[in-house]
Amino acid sequence: MLLHLEDEEAVKALCEAGHFSSGSPDAALLELSQLSLPVEARLAGLNDWLKRYKLAPLHLRKGALQLSLGGLCTRRVRARARSRQLPRVSVVMPVYNASATVLLALESLLAQSWPRLEILVVDDASEDDTAEKVAELARFEPRVRLIRHESNRGAYAARNTGMQAARGDYLTVHDSDDWSHPEKITRQVKALLRHRGAKASLSSWIRVDAQLRALGPWHLCPDWLEPNPSSLLVSREVVETLGLWDEVRVAADNEFIERIRNHYGERAILKVLPKAPLAFSLVQPSSLTRQSATHVRTIHNGLRYLYHQAAAWWHRRQVVPVMETDGWRRPFPVPLGSSKLASQDYDVAVLAELSPRNPRLRPLLKALLSQCQAGRSVVLCPWSRPDDFASRQVADDIWELCHEEGIALAHPGLEFQCERLVAQLPSPDPLEWPDRVPVLNSSRPPESLDGQLLAAEVGEALRVYLRAGGRAP
């Protein structure tokens, strides 16, 4: 069930119907999302849940008028240190036009119970007063350092800049619109200190709106409580061995996590208190997780799905997959929407099923190579059948060819132009075509791999379909 809890009456009805057992996390989040309840009542169920894990309860900050991320606080918490030589933890926070939220995120970090902490804020050429706010805080708070990018390079590039300046034994990141429980870092570090063979730890979060209503269950997860990819805390050895984040627009968190698992093994990453929320993530309309081409639902079909397939292909073919961000060539091909600099004009666009099941995969590979050798720019449009998950898979030979020949890979949510449109359609019936496709305009009528024009009726239907970006909703 997918439920966004903005509908107060629907939330009340669920509570009254008893669909969620008393004392469960679901019941606690339903209470949290009822704006009509007093603050103490909204937080009661969640605090009961936190107490089960001996975590400090939440309450409304003194002077706050309503419950929100900025209005949350707990009692002061300090870690019980058994050694004077505690490892230092570096937290990198990339920021861009985050004036409205950056201080609440920093306050939650400054309230962390772990005593040896440095916080590196990397301003990615903000156009508002984000950097000025951080600089003013850093004047009085020695744990905070501000680093500035001269141009906007993206959140993952900002993370990498911060990591290269970090001095900690353990490294982690924090988003500029998240709030973390004061015991989050302590719990994650202590887990690693107890399990010396582990290389990283993760905790869980809840996605919320500005009024602290839970948003979910999210598309990636059947529960409101989800693994928090931004909580990844690693030993310095990890980044020295495997490199840092891929500097793409979205989805590099999970690639980094899978890179660690691929190299060190499944047990290398600890899940710390997976049933307890150690952070809240503010979901905003401008977030890349909510925009069409980069939406979180594309993990099932689209940009994120293709990106993770490409990354998995790279992981499989490398003994030690090291992410080098300063080279002239990417380690693996990525979908067009992963890069800000992607072209919107190509000589040839090819529509085809790219899966290993395609019985005409060999002729497709031959035709693609021929176009590239002729010096033409080529973009591939995966053509999967509705409700056929296997047809969304991309064959290893396709990834290899894209990597070696620089073939671009398109996905829904994009719009581009091409001179020639080549189609290897599994079926001429539009009902068998993908629901969503890139918006594509071609100068010539569609043709087959051998250069023959498609039947007039099919060709015209295909051009109309591509101009509309797929099936009408």
**Average pLDDT of the residues in 165-189:** 97
| Residue 6: per-residue pLDDT | 57
Q: Read off the pLDDT of residues 308-347 as tens digits, 9 standing for 90 and up.
A: 999 999 999 998 999 988 777 899 999 999 987 777 899 9
Separation CA 363–CA 343 (nearest Å): 26
| Residue 253: per-residue pLDDT | 95
Q: What is the pTM of this model?
A: 0.91
Burial class of residue 322, CB neighbours in 10 A (0-12, 13-18, 19+): middle
Kindly state whether residue 30 falls inside one of the protein's structural domains: yes
| Residue 214: per-residue pLDDT | 87
Kindly state whether residue 246 falls inside one of the protein's structural domains: yes
pLDDT at residue 19 above 70? no
Based on the domain organization, do 92 and 203 belong to the same domain? Answer: yes
Strand, helix or coil for residue 118: strand
pLDDT at residue 104 above 90? yes
> Which structure tokens are listed for 66?
């309503």
| Residue 4: per-residue pLDDT | 52
Separation CA 179–CA 231 (nearest Å): 11
> Picking from 51-65, 78-92, 191-205, 399-413, which range would have the lowest pLDDT averaged per residue?
78-92
| Residue 288: per-residue pLDDT | 47
**Average pLDDT of the residues in 429-443:** 93
Kindly state whether residue 323 falls inside one of the protein's structural domains: no
Report CA dihedral (154, 157, 158, 163) to the nearest 10 degrees.
160
Q: In percent, how much of the chain has pLDDT > 70?
A: 89
| Residue 290: per-residue pLDDT | 47
Q: How confident is the model at residue 3 (pLDDT cuts 50, 70, 90)?
A: very low
> Which structure tokens are listed for 191?
């887990």
Based on the domain organization, do 55 and 161 belong to the same domain? Answer: no
**pLDDT: is 10 or 105 the higher one?**
105
Q: How confident is the model at residue 205 (pLDDT cuts 50, 70, 90)?
A: very high
Based on the domain organization, do 152 and 269 belong to the same domain? Answer: yes
Based on the domain organization, do 54 and 151 belong to the same domain? Answer: no
Kindly state whether residue 88 falls inside one of the protein's structural domains: yes
> Picking from 295-309, 339-353, 376-390, which range would have the lowest pLDDT averaged per residue?
295-309
Buried b / exposed e across 101-116, counting CB within 10 Å, b at 16+? bbbbbbebbebbbbeb
| Residue 25: per-residue pLDDT | 79
Kindly state whether residue 335 falls inside one of the protein's structural domains: no
pLDDT at residue 277 above 50? yes
Other Cβ atoms within 10 Å of 82 Cβ, number: 8
Other Cβ atoms within 10 Å of 128 Cβ, number: 14
**Average pLDDT of the residues in 290-296:** 59
Measured CA to CA in angstroms, residue 395 lies from 105, 116, 355, 363 at distances of 42, 47, 5, 14
Q: Which of 118, 124, 142, 145 is nearest to 134 (CA)?
A: 145
pLDDT at residue 445 above 50? yes
Would you say 354 and 326 are in contact if contact means Cβ atoms under 8 Å apart?
no
Based on the domain organization, do 276 and 134 belong to the same domain? Answer: yes
Q: How confident is the model at residue 17 (pLDDT cuts 50, 70, 90)?
A: low
Other Cβ atoms within 10 Å of 96 Cβ, number: 20
Would you say 156 and 247 are in contact if contact means Cβ atoms under 8 Å apart?
yes
pLDDT at residue 293 above 80? no
Based on the domain organization, do 143 and 243 belong to the same domain? Answer: yes
Structural domain range at position 46: 3-61
Based on the domain organization, do 373 and 439 belong to the same domain? Answer: yes
Q: Read off the pLDDT of residues 254-263 as tens digits, 9 standing for 90 and up.
A: 999 999 999 9
Based on the domain organization, do 397 and 453 belong to the same domain? Answer: yes
Cβ-proximal residues to 303 (8 Å cutoff; 6+ apart), any chain:
250, 251, 293, 294, 335, 337, 338, 411, 413
Q: Which amino acid type is present at position 454?
A: L
> Which structure tokens are listed for 457?
């009726």
Based on the domain organization, do 7 and 101 belong to the same domain? Answer: no
Would you say 353 and 426 are in contact if contact means Cβ atoms under 8 Å apart?
yes
User: In 340-428, which ranges are E strands?
Assistant: 345-352, 378-382, 408-409, 415-424
pLDDT at residue 2 above 50? no
pLDDT at residue 460 above 50? yes
Q: Read off the pLDDT of residues 39-94 as tens digits, 9 standing for 90 and up.
A: 999 999 999 999 999 999 999 988 888 898 888 989 888 766 665 689 999 999 99
Count of residues for the chain? 473
Please give the mean pLDDT across all residues of the chain. Answer: 90
Q: In percent, how much of the chain has pLDDT > 90?
A: 74
**Average pLDDT of the residues in 229-241:** 97
Domain count, the chain: 3
Kindly state whether residue 321 falls inside one of the protein's structural domains: no
Kindly state whether residue 123 falls inside one of the protein's structural domains: yes
Based on the domain organization, do 263 and 377 belong to the same domain? Answer: no
Based on the domain organization, do 210 and 353 belong to the same domain? Answer: no
**Average pLDDT of the residues in 140-145:** 97
> Which structure tokens are listed for 286?
């401008």
| Residue 128: per-residue pLDDT | 97
Based on the domain organization, do 178 and 236 belong to the same domain? Answer: yes
pLDDT at residue 32 above 60? yes
Kindly state whether residue 301 falls inside one of the protein's structural domains: no
Strand, helix or coil for residue 178: strand
- Looking at 61, 85, 100, the residue that finishes a domain is 61
- Looking at 286, 310, 325, the residue that finishes a domain is 286
